[in-house]
Chains A and B, each alone.
Chain A
Amino acid sequence: KAGVTQTPRYLIKTRGQQVTLSCSPISGHRSVSWYQQTPGQGLQFLFEYFSETQRNKGNFPGRFSGRQFSNSRSEMNVSTLELGDSALYLCASSLVFGVATSGNTIYFGEGSWLTVV
């Protein structure tokens, strides 16, 4: 069974540019969430999508956006890149949305390493 697949794995962008990252969840999983990991802030939740609708959003500026397609694949976009956006962006998938009430386990991909120069 294939895991969570993220593309691209590595990319370098210039300040002011925008970037789109892609995520294919585990087959049958309908929820996709995104996390940002930096040395300073650690792992932080960006947003979660289920049935093509954003269900939850973390404390990130509007430059960070995402969407989910009917096949559950998801993309996230960061516009007007800043140096501080350099991070590992992790996508995770789960059967349903919500972690607490159901104990639903989320599975992560290998991430996309973004460097902004």
Chain B
Amino acid sequence: AQKVTQAQTEISVVEKEDVTLDCVYETRDTTYYLFWYKQPPSGELVFLIRRNSFDEQNEISGRYSWNFQKSTSSFNFTITASQVVDSAVYFCALPADMGRRALTFGSGTRLQVQP
């Protein structure tokens, strides 16, 4: 069954620290997509990245970077030089079992960045 595990429930860092959010997944598919979303207090899920399992290159976007390791079924997310505005809940997701037409999400990691 498709499953996403985000073992870190909550992380607290001080501004400018680097922080890594872990995501471990299980899938029976040989080709699949992985996603990260950010949920600020307003509630909206903000799309951050979509990664194809064929592409194991790390991705960097500004202060954000993602490390995809197919061998360990992990798709970790690092924020460099964190800022208070990064405080949010972060979700990792992949397509669900049901005809693979929906997303199954991890339980999320709450990141608190202290000034």
A binding-site residues for B, Cβ under 8 Å:
3, 33, 35, 42-43, 45, 48, 55-56, 58, 88, 90, 92, 97-101, 103, 105-111, 113
Contact = CB atoms under 8 A, between A and B. Distances in A.
Interface residues on B, range: 20 to 34
A100 B32 contact: yes
Contacts of B104: 45
Is the contact region of chain B dominated by helix, strand, or loop, or is it mixed? loop
Contact of B102 (A3, A42, A99, A105): A99
Contacts, number: 67
Given A42-B105, A45-B103, A56-B101, A100 B29 contact: yes
Contacts of B103: 35, 43, 45, 99, 106
Interface in B78-115: 91, 95-96, 98-108
A103 B102 contact: no
Across the A-B interface, the 3 shortest Cβ-Cβ residue pairs: A100-B100, A100-B95, A108-B45
Given A48-B101, A56-B99, A99-B102, A110 B44 contact: yes
A47 B59 CA distance: 31
28 contacts: A3-B44, A35-B103, A42-B105, A42-B106, A42-B108, A45-B102, A48-B101, A48-B102, A55-B101, A56-B98, A56-B99, A90-B43, A98-B101, A99-B96, A99-B100, A99-B101, A99-B102, A100-B29, A100-B95, A101-B100, A103-B33, A105-B35, A106-B47, A106-B103, A107-B47, A108-B45, A109-B44, A110-B42
